Structure 1
């Protein structure tokens, strides 16, 4: 992902009640999100955010890692709020800097997948979402939602807002990211075909609030929210305000069964299949060989890892 160059969009105005005084509203924008279809909206979005009476500072970055570092720096320097304009990947990078802090956050959905913004009640239209965020800034109002905290075997800590994939979908993403050809969506389609050809259940050890479970599975997902991948309701009962994580395990699927069940994920009806089991826990440990997980659609930590539901870890401008 890429962000646009830094700029102070408007002079400082009066400080809204309830927000940290003095700092600007930092904005991370990904012009390539959603295949660039919202690129021309950014000046208008900044104008709308500026109606809150705060200076708006556009962060500068040319890669996903730089974008995340820019967010951390902005928060460390006293930003009064952080806004992310993009899809779930952009939001994922941004929340690493505000998770567990009092700095409020606003997602402006402008990506291919906007699951976190949708699940937390933001309008799907970027202009409307920016207006909601600006109103919250003016009023000094935010509301808390949960995040999931990931802790890797080496102690690395990351956060996510929507869903962690640790099964077939993560394996497909990993293959697609290794492929140099073709470019675009066809690469993902070919990665699916390649992984279907070698599909096999893998042995997972899940520990759910201290209860150990050995499963052979093809699909494993842990949801703070219900959906991933642009509306696929893999964890349909997940609620990002209940202090719990929803775990969905699809067992010993063969190729034909997986192909038949996969479309049902969009409606969330896959959980009624006899090979699918659902669980709910505050703390989940997952162990399996040779799996790199994907959180909010972004390449994340390898297994094993521990996931912890963290209530009210993020304060949304809504």
Structure 2
């Protein structure tokens, strides 16, 4: 099995670079090394190795060292490629992938997987479609407040300072407070199983393939990335102060019984967004909706293979 490390040295303000430096000291197997240089580069790298693996029926293990964005890009490049396994070493600011999926922490775990790769698990991937555009997400995709927070966080120099002082988990909370008075709510219509429901004063719509977002918030406690379903969470009709209090309960997954929270579970949802609202996939900017634009949230079964620790 060929082993390739795909490293985003900027992730976690250098955390990825430090983790690789420590890992390679005890890595006793052949490997190739690739460094990302710009947004989307990890996807290009992964596609290149996926093509080789498919052409020559040659098993590859691609290990992303970086944050959620790095893993997101790597998985994009290998969708439906059976010869490729994806592993990860969490080294970002939020690291929600590492909470919802099993990841590597030591060189010995990687070596064991190359010897006994039967422990890989087939995973679903979330699908977001709007107009003629199709986007994918391994963690979650959102329209509204969470996407707005992700955008201002990714554009701010303060995020680097949080990472420098190893306070990456507080990044989302800090920018949540900053965004609270700026964001304008919107209305939506959800179509599911032939039934329609309108929601006003909506803060966010999140489609989840695993439980976590925002650096450890358990937004969708029942989500499972291999059960062929996604969960749709809507937070609506709630004041700014109460929203802030609600978010304090999300870390523990205790928000689902609150009146302002509506959750659905299923294979697909259509959502009409009645305004120009920002969107994201796995925390990456996914454009701004047009007024009354219909968004399709769905799930693709058996989309990629997760490399897991082997006992």
SS of 2:199's partner is: strand
1:267 matched to 2:244? The reply is: no
Cα 1:38/1:65, change in 2 over 3 Å: closer
What residue in structure 1 maps to residue 191 of structure 2?
207
Q: Deviations over 1:38-85 (max 9, x none)?
A: 42331443465653xxx4221243112223222222222337222111
Which of 291, 301, 305 is the aligned partner of 2:277? 291
Please say if residues 99 and 212 of structure 2, whose CA atoms lie closer than 8 Å, have aligned partners that are also in contact: no
Counterpart-to-counterpart distance in 1, 2:139 and 2:172: 21
**Is the Cα–Cα contact under 8 Å of residues 220 and 248 in structure 1 kept in the other structure?**
yes
Give 2:4's aligned residue.
26
User: Does the aligned pair in 1 maintain the 2:9–2:35 contact within 8 Å?
Assistant: no
Q: Which moved more, 1:137-146 or 1:198-207?
A: 198-207
1:1-16 aligned within 5 A: 15=1
| Match 2:43 to one of 68, 75, 79 | 68
CA contact 2:125–2:225 (8 Å) conserved in 1:
yes
Q: Scaled by the length of structure 1, what TM-score is found?
A: 0.80
Match of 2:95 in 1: 114
The structure with the greater share of residues assigned to strand is 2
- CA deviation profile, 1:158-203 (whole Å, cap 9, x unmatched): 2211121222111223344566889745997775455322444311
Residue 6 of structure 1 corresponds to: none
d(CA) in 2 for partners of 1:311, 1:263: 33
Deviates more, 1:272-281 or 1:74-83: 74-83
- TM-score scaled to structure 2, two decimals? 0.82
d(CA) in 2 for partners of 1:277 and 1:199?
20
> Which deviates the most, 184-193 or 33-42?
184-193
Task: Give the distance between the partners of 1:286 and 1:145, measured in 2 at CA.
Answer: 24
SS state at 2:210 partner: coil
Which residue of structure 2 aligns with residue 232 of structure 1?
217
Question: Offset of 1:245 from its aligned partner?
Answer: 0.5
| d(CA) in 2 for partners of 1:211, 1:301 | 27
What's the secondary structure of 1:242's corresponding residue? Answer: coil
Displacement of 1:219: 2.4
| Per-residue deviation, residues 96-136 of structure 1 (Å, max 9, x unmatched) | 0112221211111122222223212336xx32xx5333322
| Unmatched 5+ stretches in structure 2 | 54-58, 163-169
- Contact 2:50-2:81 at 8 Å conserved across structures: no
Unaligned runs of 5+ in 1: 1-14, 16-23
